[in-house]
Chains A and B, each alone.
Chain A
Protein backbone atom coordinates (compact mmCIF):
# COMPACT_ATOMS: atom_id res chain seq x y z
CA UNK A 1 0.00 0.00 0.00
CA UNK A 2 2.71 2.41 1.05
CA UNK A 3 4.78 1.22 -1.90
CA UNK A 4 1.92 2.02 -4.27
CA UNK A 5 1.57 5.52 -2.83
CA UNK A 6 5.32 6.06 -3.08
CA UNK A 7 5.50 4.96 -6.70
CA UNK A 8 2.46 7.10 -7.55
CA UNK A 9 4.22 10.02 -5.90
CA UNK A 10 7.41 9.31 -7.86
CA UNK A 11 5.38 9.13 -11.06
CA UNK A 12 3.69 12.48 -10.36
CA UNK A 13 7.03 14.12 -9.55
CA UNK A 14 8.53 12.82 -12.79
CA UNK A 15 5.60 14.12 -14.84
CA UNK A 16 5.78 17.54 -13.22
CA UNK A 17 9.54 17.64 -13.81
CA UNK A 18 9.06 16.67 -17.45
CA UNK A 19 6.38 19.31 -17.88
CA UNK A 20 8.64 21.98 -16.41
CA UNK A 21 11.54 20.82 -18.56
CA UNK A 22 9.40 20.92 -21.68
CA UNK A 23 8.11 24.40 -20.89
CA UNK A 24 11.70 25.55 -20.45
CA UNK A 25 12.82 23.91 -23.69
CA UNK A 26 9.85 25.51 -25.43
CA UNK A 27 10.86 28.98 -24.23
CA UNK A 28 14.51 28.51 -25.13
CA UNK A 29 13.52 27.22 -28.56
CA UNK A 30 11.27 30.22 -29.20
CA UNK A 31 14.07 32.55 -28.16
CA UNK A 32 16.54 30.91 -30.57
CA UNK A 33 13.97 30.72 -33.38
CA UNK A 34 14.23 34.46 -33.83
CA UNK A 35 17.98 34.60 -33.39
CA UNK A 36 19.77 35.70 -36.55
CA UNK A 37 20.99 34.39 -38.88
CA UNK A 38 18.13 32.08 -39.80
CA UNK A 39 19.11 28.65 -41.04
CA UNK A 40 16.83 27.69 -43.93
CA UNK A 41 19.26 24.91 -44.86
CA UNK A 42 18.67 23.10 -41.59
CA UNK A 43 14.92 23.70 -41.75
CA UNK A 44 14.63 22.31 -45.27
CA UNK A 45 16.65 19.24 -44.35
CA UNK A 46 14.26 18.48 -41.50
CA UNK A 47 11.18 19.22 -43.61
CA UNK A 48 12.44 16.70 -46.10
CA UNK A 49 13.13 14.08 -43.45
CA UNK A 50 9.93 14.60 -41.48
CA UNK A 51 7.57 15.53 -44.27
CA UNK A 52 8.53 14.27 -47.67
CA UNK A 53 9.68 10.86 -46.51
CA UNK A 54 6.50 10.38 -44.48
CA UNK A 55 4.19 10.97 -47.44
CA UNK A 56 3.85 7.29 -48.48
CA UNK A 57 2.84 6.13 -45.02
CA UNK A 58 0.40 9.04 -44.63
CA UNK A 59 -1.05 8.11 -48.01
CA UNK A 60 -1.66 4.56 -46.86
CA UNK A 61 -3.12 5.39 -43.46
CA UNK A 62 -5.27 8.18 -44.91
CA UNK A 63 -6.70 5.96 -47.61
CA UNK A 64 -7.56 3.07 -45.33
CA UNK A 65 -8.96 5.35 -42.64
CA UNK A 66 -11.35 6.90 -45.16
CA UNK A 67 -12.26 3.50 -46.56
CA UNK A 68 -13.03 1.81 -43.27
CA UNK A 69 -14.84 4.90 -42.08
CA UNK A 70 -17.06 4.77 -45.17
CA UNK A 71 -17.78 1.08 -44.55
CA UNK A 72 -18.78 1.70 -40.95
CA UNK A 73 -20.89 4.80 -41.57
CA UNK A 74 -22.62 3.11 -44.48
CA UNK A 75 -23.50 0.21 -42.20
CA UNK A 76 -24.97 2.63 -39.65
CA UNK A 77 -26.64 5.11 -41.99
CA UNK A 78 -28.27 2.43 -44.08
CA UNK A 79 -30.47 1.70 -41.09
CA UNK A 80 -31.99 5.15 -41.58
CA UNK A 81 -31.88 5.06 -45.35
CA UNK A 82 -29.36 7.89 -45.28
CA UNK A 83 -26.51 6.34 -47.31
CA UNK A 84 -26.03 9.54 -49.29
CA UNK A 85 -24.70 11.09 -46.07
CA UNK A 86 -21.74 8.69 -46.01
CA UNK A 87 -19.59 11.08 -48.05
CA UNK A 88 -20.10 14.07 -45.81
CA UNK A 89 -19.62 11.99 -42.68
CA UNK A 90 -16.30 10.78 -44.02
CA UNK A 91 -15.32 14.28 -45.14
CA UNK A 92 -16.13 15.89 -41.78
CA UNK A 93 -14.59 13.04 -39.84
CA UNK A 94 -11.39 13.14 -41.88
CA UNK A 95 -10.87 16.91 -41.94
CA UNK A 96 -11.87 17.61 -38.36
CA UNK A 97 -10.61 14.59 -36.46
CA UNK A 98 -9.11 11.60 -38.16
CA UNK A 99 -6.81 13.43 -40.57
CA UNK A 100 -5.03 15.53 -37.92
CA UNK A 101 -4.98 12.84 -35.23
CA UNK A 102 -3.87 9.90 -37.36
CA UNK A 103 -1.33 12.01 -39.22
CA UNK A 104 0.27 13.27 -36.02
CA UNK A 105 0.31 9.81 -34.51
CA UNK A 106 1.94 8.38 -37.63
CA UNK A 107 4.48 11.21 -37.66
CA UNK A 108 5.20 10.53 -34.00
CA UNK A 109 5.83 6.88 -34.80
CA UNK A 110 7.89 7.54 -37.87
CA UNK A 111 9.68 10.85 -37.34
CA UNK A 112 9.22 11.64 -33.64
CA UNK A 113 10.74 8.39 -32.46
CA UNK A 114 13.66 8.87 -34.84
CA UNK A 115 14.11 12.40 -33.49
CA UNK A 116 14.27 11.16 -29.90
CA UNK A 117 16.66 8.35 -30.80
CA UNK A 118 18.92 10.58 -32.88
CA UNK A 119 19.13 13.39 -30.32
CA UNK A 120 19.56 10.83 -27.54
CA UNK A 121 22.44 9.18 -29.36
CA UNK A 122 24.00 12.59 -29.99
CA UNK A 123 23.68 13.32 -26.27
CA UNK A 124 25.32 10.13 -25.02
CA UNK A 125 28.12 10.25 -27.62
CA UNK A 126 28.79 13.88 -26.61
CA UNK A 127 27.95 15.22 -30.06
CA UNK A 128 25.67 17.80 -28.44
CA UNK A 129 28.50 18.88 -26.14
CA UNK A 130 30.78 18.98 -29.17
CA UNK A 131 28.40 21.37 -30.94
CA UNK A 132 28.36 23.68 -27.94
CA UNK A 133 32.15 23.39 -27.60
CA UNK A 134 32.44 24.48 -31.23
CA UNK A 135 30.44 27.60 -30.37
CA UNK A 136 27.28 26.38 -32.10
CA UNK A 137 24.16 26.61 -29.97
CA UNK A 138 22.60 23.11 -29.92
CA UNK A 139 19.07 24.44 -29.38
CA UNK A 140 19.31 26.64 -32.44
CA UNK A 141 21.09 24.02 -34.50
CA UNK A 142 19.14 20.90 -33.52
CA UNK A 143 15.84 21.75 -31.84
CA UNK A 144 14.62 24.84 -33.69
CA UNK A 145 14.63 23.24 -37.16
CA UNK A 146 12.95 20.05 -35.92
CA UNK A 147 10.22 21.90 -34.07
CA UNK A 148 9.52 24.29 -36.92
CA UNK A 149 9.62 21.60 -39.58
CA UNK A 150 7.21 19.33 -37.69
CA UNK A 151 4.82 22.20 -36.97
CA UNK A 152 4.76 23.02 -40.69
CA UNK A 153 4.76 19.50 -42.10
CA UNK A 154 2.03 17.88 -40.00
CA UNK A 155 -0.67 20.23 -41.38
CA UNK A 156 0.62 19.72 -44.93
CA UNK A 157 0.54 15.95 -44.50
CA UNK A 158 -2.91 16.28 -42.94
CA UNK A 159 -4.13 17.85 -46.19
CA UNK A 160 -2.78 14.82 -48.03
CA UNK A 161 -4.42 12.49 -45.54
CA UNK A 162 -7.79 14.34 -45.71
CA UNK A 163 -7.82 14.25 -49.48
CA UNK A 164 -6.79 10.63 -49.81
CA UNK A 165 -9.23 9.64 -47.08
CA UNK A 166 -12.17 11.26 -48.86
CA UNK A 167 -11.14 9.65 -52.14
CA UNK A 168 -10.95 6.32 -50.30
CA UNK A 169 -14.41 6.95 -48.88
CA UNK A 170 -15.71 7.70 -52.35
CA UNK A 171 -14.20 4.49 -53.67
CA UNK A 172 -15.83 2.36 -50.98
CA UNK A 173 -19.15 4.25 -50.92
CA UNK A 174 -19.77 4.81 -54.60
CA UNK A 175 -17.87 2.03 -56.35
CA UNK A 176 -18.17 -0.81 -53.88
CA UNK A 177 -21.39 0.00 -52.02
CA UNK A 178 -23.15 1.62 -54.98
CA UNK A 179 -24.23 4.85 -53.31
CA UNK A 180 -25.49 7.44 -55.78
CA UNK A 181 -22.37 9.43 -56.76
CA UNK A 182 -24.25 12.70 -57.42
CA UNK A 183 -25.84 12.80 -54.00
CA UNK A 184 -22.62 11.59 -52.34
CA UNK A 185 -20.64 14.53 -53.72
CA UNK A 186 -23.45 17.07 -53.40
CA UNK A 187 -23.80 16.39 -49.69
CA UNK A 188 -20.06 16.75 -49.15
CA UNK A 189 -20.17 20.13 -50.88
CA UNK A 190 -23.28 21.21 -49.00
CA UNK A 191 -22.20 20.32 -45.47
CA UNK A 192 -18.41 20.57 -45.46
CA UNK A 193 -17.04 24.09 -45.16
CA UNK A 194 -13.54 25.50 -45.43
CA UNK A 195 -13.91 26.10 -41.70
CA UNK A 196 -13.84 22.39 -41.07
CA UNK A 197 -10.60 22.09 -42.99
CA UNK A 198 -8.94 25.08 -41.30
CA UNK A 199 -10.04 23.84 -37.95
CA UNK A 200 -8.42 20.50 -38.64
CA UNK A 201 -5.23 22.16 -39.84
CA UNK A 202 -4.93 24.31 -36.72
CA UNK A 203 -5.21 21.14 -34.69
CA UNK A 204 -2.59 19.49 -36.88
CA UNK A 205 -0.14 22.35 -36.38
CA UNK A 206 -0.61 22.23 -32.61
CA UNK A 207 -0.18 18.44 -32.57
CA UNK A 208 2.95 18.73 -34.69
CA UNK A 209 4.44 21.31 -32.35
CA UNK A 210 3.61 19.24 -29.27
CA UNK A 211 4.90 15.94 -30.61
CA UNK A 212 8.16 17.55 -31.71
CA UNK A 213 8.53 19.24 -28.33
CA UNK A 214 7.97 15.96 -26.47
CA UNK A 215 10.30 13.94 -28.72
CA UNK A 216 13.05 16.58 -28.74
CA UNK A 217 12.81 16.98 -24.97
CA UNK A 218 13.05 13.24 -24.36
CA UNK A 219 15.94 12.82 -26.77
CA UNK A 220 17.85 15.93 -25.72
CA UNK A 221 17.80 14.94 -22.05
CA UNK A 222 18.79 11.29 -22.36
CA UNK A 223 20.85 9.81 -19.52
CA UNK A 224 22.30 6.37 -19.14
CA UNK A 225 23.78 5.08 -22.37
CA UNK A 226 22.11 3.00 -25.04
CA UNK A 227 19.48 1.80 -22.61
CA UNK A 228 18.58 5.41 -21.87
CA UNK A 229 18.16 6.11 -25.58
CA UNK A 230 15.80 3.15 -25.92
CA UNK A 231 13.78 4.24 -22.93
CA UNK A 232 13.57 7.83 -24.14
CA UNK A 233 12.41 6.70 -27.57
CA UNK A 234 9.59 4.58 -26.17
CA UNK A 235 8.58 7.26 -23.69
CA UNK A 236 8.55 9.92 -26.38
CA UNK A 237 6.11 7.93 -28.53
CA UNK A 238 3.78 7.06 -25.66
CA UNK A 239 3.84 10.55 -24.22
CA UNK A 240 3.32 12.21 -27.62
CA UNK A 241 0.28 10.03 -28.31
CA UNK A 242 -1.25 10.86 -24.93
CA UNK A 243 -0.49 14.56 -25.32
CA UNK A 244 -1.98 14.60 -28.83
CA UNK A 245 -5.23 13.01 -27.68
CA UNK A 246 -5.45 15.29 -24.65
CA UNK A 247 -4.78 18.36 -26.76
CA UNK A 248 -7.37 17.11 -29.24
CA UNK A 249 -10.05 17.09 -26.58
CA UNK A 250 -9.07 20.52 -25.27
CA UNK A 251 -8.89 22.09 -28.73
CA UNK A 252 -12.15 20.53 -29.86
CA UNK A 253 -13.98 21.87 -26.83
CA UNK A 254 -12.31 25.29 -27.17
CA UNK A 255 -12.70 25.77 -30.92
CA UNK A 256 -16.34 24.70 -30.86
Chain B
Protein backbone atom coordinates (compact mmCIF):
# COMPACT_ATOMS: atom_id res chain seq x y z
CA UNK B 1 0.00 0.00 0.00
CA UNK B 2 1.10 3.53 -0.77
CA UNK B 3 -0.29 6.48 1.10
CA UNK B 4 0.38 9.98 -0.19
CA UNK B 5 -0.29 12.81 2.23
CA UNK B 6 -0.45 16.49 1.37
CA UNK B 7 2.29 16.29 -1.26
CA UNK B 8 3.61 19.61 -2.56
CA UNK B 9 6.19 20.17 -5.27
CA UNK B 10 7.27 23.28 -7.15
CA UNK B 11 9.87 23.77 -9.85
CA UNK B 12 11.35 27.25 -9.74
CA UNK B 13 8.15 29.02 -8.76
CA UNK B 14 5.86 26.76 -10.81
CA UNK B 15 3.64 24.86 -8.40
CA UNK B 16 3.03 21.42 -9.93
CA UNK B 17 1.65 19.45 -6.98
CA UNK B 18 -0.45 21.43 -4.51
CA UNK B 19 -1.32 18.96 -1.80
CA UNK B 20 -1.98 15.53 -3.27
CA UNK B 21 -3.73 13.07 -0.97
CA UNK B 22 -4.22 9.54 -2.23
CA UNK B 23 -4.31 5.99 -0.96
CA UNK B 24 -3.16 3.31 -3.37
CA UNK B 25 -4.54 -0.05 -2.28
CA UNK B 26 -2.44 -3.17 -2.32
CA UNK B 27 -2.84 -5.84 -4.99
CA UNK B 28 -4.91 -3.73 -7.37
CA UNK B 29 -4.50 -1.59 -10.44
CA UNK B 30 -4.85 2.08 -9.54
CA UNK B 31 -4.99 4.53 -12.42
CA UNK B 32 -4.27 8.22 -12.02
CA UNK B 33 -5.84 10.12 -14.89
CA UNK B 34 -4.94 13.67 -15.81
CA UNK B 35 -4.25 15.81 -18.82
CA UNK B 36 -0.77 16.39 -20.20
CA UNK B 37 1.35 18.55 -17.96
CA UNK B 38 -0.89 17.95 -14.95
CA UNK B 39 2.07 16.59 -13.00
CA UNK B 40 1.38 12.87 -13.32
CA UNK B 41 4.97 11.90 -14.05
CA UNK B 42 6.20 14.14 -11.26
CA UNK B 43 3.77 12.45 -8.86
CA UNK B 44 4.79 8.97 -10.00
CA UNK B 45 8.49 9.75 -9.65
CA UNK B 46 7.90 10.90 -6.09
CA UNK B 47 6.56 7.45 -5.25
CA UNK B 48 9.94 5.89 -5.99
CA UNK B 49 12.00 8.73 -4.54
CA UNK B 50 13.27 10.19 -7.82
CA UNK B 51 11.98 13.56 -6.63
CA UNK B 52 11.90 14.88 -3.09
CA UNK B 53 8.75 16.82 -2.23
CA UNK B 54 8.75 20.33 -0.80
CA UNK B 55 6.18 19.24 1.73
CA UNK B 56 4.12 16.15 2.58
CA UNK B 57 4.91 12.50 2.94
CA UNK B 58 4.63 9.22 1.08
CA UNK B 59 4.23 6.07 3.12
CA UNK B 60 5.26 2.90 1.33
CA UNK B 61 4.56 -0.21 3.39
CA UNK B 62 4.34 2.02 6.43
CA UNK B 63 7.61 3.92 5.93
CA UNK B 64 7.94 7.52 4.85
CA UNK B 65 10.19 7.43 1.81
CA UNK B 66 10.55 11.20 1.59
CA UNK B 67 12.80 11.16 4.63
CA UNK B 68 14.86 8.12 3.71
CA UNK B 69 18.60 8.28 3.20
CA UNK B 70 20.19 7.15 -0.05
CA UNK B 71 20.99 3.65 1.20
CA UNK B 72 17.56 2.90 2.60
CA UNK B 73 15.93 4.29 -0.52
CA UNK B 74 18.07 2.03 -2.71
CA UNK B 75 16.97 -1.01 -0.73
CA UNK B 76 13.33 0.00 -1.07
CA UNK B 77 13.65 0.60 -4.81
CA UNK B 78 14.58 -3.04 -5.33
CA UNK B 79 10.97 -3.83 -4.44
CA UNK B 80 9.68 -1.48 -7.12
CA UNK B 81 9.53 -1.87 -10.86
CA UNK B 82 9.01 1.13 -13.09
CA UNK B 83 8.01 1.36 -16.71
CA UNK B 84 8.98 4.72 -18.18
CA UNK B 85 7.01 6.49 -20.88
CA UNK B 86 9.36 5.72 -23.77
CA UNK B 87 10.63 2.55 -22.13
CA UNK B 88 13.99 4.05 -21.09
CA UNK B 89 15.75 0.89 -22.22
CA UNK B 90 19.55 1.20 -22.16
CA UNK B 91 20.33 1.65 -25.81
CA UNK B 92 23.82 0.20 -25.55
CA UNK B 93 22.42 -3.15 -24.37
CA UNK B 94 20.31 -5.76 -26.15
CA UNK B 95 16.75 -6.44 -25.01
CA UNK B 96 17.89 -9.54 -23.11
CA UNK B 97 20.75 -7.64 -21.46
CA UNK B 98 18.31 -4.92 -20.46
CA UNK B 99 16.08 -7.47 -18.73
CA UNK B 100 19.12 -9.12 -17.16
CA UNK B 101 20.45 -5.78 -15.90
CA UNK B 102 18.62 -5.61 -12.54
CA UNK B 103 19.31 -9.31 -11.95
CA UNK B 104 23.03 -8.86 -12.56
CA UNK B 105 23.19 -5.74 -10.42
CA UNK B 106 21.23 -7.02 -7.47
CA UNK B 107 21.33 -10.81 -7.30
CA UNK B 108 24.06 -13.43 -7.16
CA UNK B 109 22.23 -15.71 -9.57
CA UNK B 110 24.56 -17.72 -11.78
CA UNK B 111 24.56 -16.72 -15.44
CA UNK B 112 22.49 -19.73 -16.44
CA UNK B 113 19.65 -18.81 -14.12
CA UNK B 114 19.82 -15.18 -15.17
CA UNK B 115 19.28 -16.34 -18.74
CA UNK B 116 16.35 -18.52 -17.66
CA UNK B 117 14.65 -15.66 -15.86
CA UNK B 118 15.24 -13.36 -18.83
CA UNK B 119 13.69 -15.85 -21.25
CA UNK B 120 10.73 -16.41 -18.96
CA UNK B 121 10.12 -12.66 -18.53
CA UNK B 122 10.41 -12.05 -22.26
CA UNK B 123 8.01 -14.91 -22.99
CA UNK B 124 5.50 -13.44 -20.53
CA UNK B 125 5.42 -10.22 -22.50
CA UNK B 126 5.52 -12.02 -25.86
CA UNK B 127 8.94 -10.81 -26.88
CA UNK B 128 11.10 -13.92 -26.71
CA UNK B 129 12.11 -13.72 -30.35
CA UNK B 130 13.43 -10.15 -29.96
CA UNK B 131 15.84 -11.06 -27.15
CA UNK B 132 18.98 -10.25 -29.13
CA UNK B 133 17.69 -7.10 -30.80
CA UNK B 134 18.89 -3.64 -29.84
CA UNK B 135 16.25 -1.24 -28.44
CA UNK B 136 16.58 1.00 -31.51
CA UNK B 137 15.30 -1.89 -33.65
CA UNK B 138 12.04 -2.18 -31.69
CA UNK B 139 8.68 -0.55 -32.35
CA UNK B 140 7.07 1.60 -29.66
CA UNK B 141 4.87 -1.24 -28.44
CA UNK B 142 7.76 -3.70 -28.32
CA UNK B 143 9.85 -1.21 -26.34
CA UNK B 144 7.12 -1.01 -23.72
CA UNK B 145 6.90 -4.80 -23.56
CA UNK B 146 10.65 -5.06 -23.09
CA UNK B 147 10.56 -2.36 -20.45
CA UNK B 148 7.77 -4.24 -18.65
CA UNK B 149 9.87 -7.41 -18.71
CA UNK B 150 12.75 -5.47 -17.20
CA UNK B 151 10.50 -3.83 -14.59
CA UNK B 152 9.25 -7.27 -13.52
CA UNK B 153 12.68 -8.92 -13.47
CA UNK B 154 13.20 -8.69 -9.73
CA UNK B 155 9.64 -9.74 -8.80
CA UNK B 156 8.69 -6.30 -7.47
CA UNK B 157 5.84 -5.73 -5.03
CA UNK B 158 4.85 -2.48 -6.68
CA UNK B 159 5.00 -1.64 -10.39
CA UNK B 160 4.69 1.94 -11.63
CA UNK B 161 3.63 2.69 -15.21
CA UNK B 162 4.14 6.05 -16.89
CA UNK B 163 1.70 6.37 -19.81
CA UNK B 164 1.90 2.74 -20.94
CA UNK B 165 -0.39 3.24 -23.96
CA UNK B 166 0.51 6.76 -25.05
CA UNK B 167 1.92 7.03 -28.54
CA UNK B 168 0.70 3.58 -29.60
CA UNK B 169 -1.93 2.82 -32.20
CA UNK B 170 -5.25 1.62 -30.73
CA UNK B 171 -4.62 -2.06 -31.52
CA UNK B 172 -1.19 -2.16 -29.89
CA UNK B 173 -2.49 -0.02 -27.01
CA UNK B 174 -5.22 -2.63 -26.52
CA UNK B 175 -2.72 -5.48 -26.33
CA UNK B 176 -0.62 -3.55 -23.79
CA UNK B 177 -3.72 -2.93 -21.69
CA UNK B 178 -4.51 -6.65 -21.79
CA UNK B 179 -0.93 -7.45 -20.86
CA UNK B 180 -1.12 -5.15 -17.83
CA UNK B 181 -4.42 -6.66 -16.67
CA UNK B 182 -3.21 -10.22 -17.17
CA UNK B 183 0.15 -9.64 -15.53
CA UNK B 184 -1.49 -8.04 -12.53
CA UNK B 185 -3.98 -10.88 -12.19
CA UNK B 186 -1.20 -13.40 -12.52
CA UNK B 187 1.19 -11.76 -10.05
CA UNK B 188 -1.32 -10.11 -7.71
CA UNK B 189 0.99 -7.13 -7.16
CA UNK B 190 0.19 -3.46 -6.71
CA UNK B 191 0.14 -1.60 -10.03
CA UNK B 192 0.02 2.18 -10.34
CA UNK B 193 -0.67 3.53 -13.82
CA UNK B 194 -0.72 7.16 -14.87
CA UNK B 195 -2.28 8.09 -18.17
CA UNK B 196 -4.10 10.82 -20.02
CA UNK B 197 -6.09 8.20 -21.91
CA UNK B 198 -9.57 7.75 -20.48
CA UNK B 199 -10.12 4.53 -22.45
CA UNK B 200 -7.03 2.94 -20.95
CA UNK B 201 -8.01 4.15 -17.50
CA UNK B 202 -11.53 2.70 -17.71
CA UNK B 203 -10.32 -0.54 -19.20
CA UNK B 204 -7.68 -1.46 -16.65
CA UNK B 205 -8.41 0.36 -13.40
CA UNK B 206 -9.84 -1.06 -10.23
CA UNK B 207 -9.38 2.28 -8.55
CA UNK B 208 -9.28 5.55 -10.43
CA UNK B 209 -8.18 9.03 -9.40
CA UNK B 210 -8.29 12.27 -11.31
CA UNK B 211 -5.30 14.60 -10.93
CA UNK B 212 -6.28 18.16 -11.73
CA UNK B 213 -4.91 21.50 -10.59
CA UNK B 214 -2.17 19.83 -8.56
CA UNK B 215 -4.63 17.86 -6.44
CA UNK B 216 -6.70 14.70 -6.63
CA UNK B 217 -10.07 16.01 -7.77
CA UNK B 218 -12.03 12.76 -7.47
CA UNK B 219 -11.20 9.17 -6.70
CA UNK B 220 -13.07 5.93 -6.40
CA UNK B 221 -14.19 2.97 -8.47
CA UNK B 222 -13.93 3.73 -12.18
CA UNK B 223 -17.69 3.92 -12.73
CA UNK B 224 -18.05 6.29 -9.77
CA UNK B 225 -15.44 8.59 -11.22
CA UNK B 226 -16.94 8.30 -14.68
CA UNK B 227 -20.37 9.40 -13.49
CA UNK B 228 -19.13 12.05 -11.10
CA UNK B 229 -19.95 14.84 -13.52
CA UNK B 230 -16.57 16.50 -13.04
CA UNK B 231 -16.09 19.03 -15.88
CA UNK B 232 -12.71 17.61 -16.91
CA UNK B 233 -14.21 14.17 -17.20
CA UNK B 234 -17.02 15.57 -19.31
CA UNK B 235 -14.35 17.03 -21.59
CA UNK B 236 -12.60 13.69 -21.79
CA UNK B 237 -15.88 11.94 -22.58
CA UNK B 238 -16.86 14.42 -25.24
CA UNK B 239 -13.57 13.85 -26.97
CA UNK B 240 -14.04 10.10 -26.78
CA UNK B 241 -17.50 10.37 -28.35
CA UNK B 242 -16.91 12.93 -31.03
CA UNK B 243 -13.18 12.98 -31.55
CA UNK B 244 -11.09 16.07 -31.09
CA UNK B 245 -12.94 19.33 -31.70
CA UNK B 246 -11.71 20.87 -34.90
CA UNK B 247 -10.67 24.47 -35.30
CA UNK B 248 -13.00 26.35 -37.63
CA UNK B 249 -11.27 27.55 -40.75
CA UNK B 250 -12.10 31.17 -41.30
CA UNK B 251 -11.76 32.42 -44.81
Contact = CB atoms under 8 A, between A and B. Distances in A.
Contacts of B150: 134
B128 to A, nearest CB: 22
Nearest to B78: A135
B25 interface: no
Contact of B77 (A125, A126, A127, A135): A135
A129 B45 contact: yes
Interface in B74-93: 74-75, 77-78, 80, 82, 84-86, 88-91
Contacts of B247: none
Chain B contact surface mostly: mixed
Given A125-B88, A129-B84, A129-B88, A134 B45 contact: no
* Tier of interface size on chain A: 10 to 19
A127 B90 contact: yes
Nearest to B86: A125
A4 interface: no
Nearest to A135: B77
Contact of A133 (B75, B80, B89, B91): B80
Contacts of A133: 48, 50, 77, 80, 82, 84
A136 interface: yes
Interface residues of B, number: 22
Given A129-B45, A129-B50, A134 B84 contact: no
A4 B80 CA distance: 50
A126 B50 CA distance: 11
A232 to B, nearest CB: 18
A47 B85 CA distance: 32
A130 interface: yes
B37 to A, nearest CB: 15
Contact of A134 (B70, B85, B91, B101): B101
Given A127-B90, A129-B45, A135 B84 contact: no
Max count, chain A CB within 10 A of own CB: residue among B45, B78, B88: B88
A135 B74 contact: yes
Given A127-B88, A130-B84, 9 more contacts: A126-B84, A132-B77, A133-B48, A133-B84, A134-B77, A135-B74, A135-B106, A137-B70, A137-B74
The 7 closest A-B pairs by CB, nearest first: A130-B88, A135-B77, A126-B88, A133-B82, A126-B84, A135-B74, A135-B78
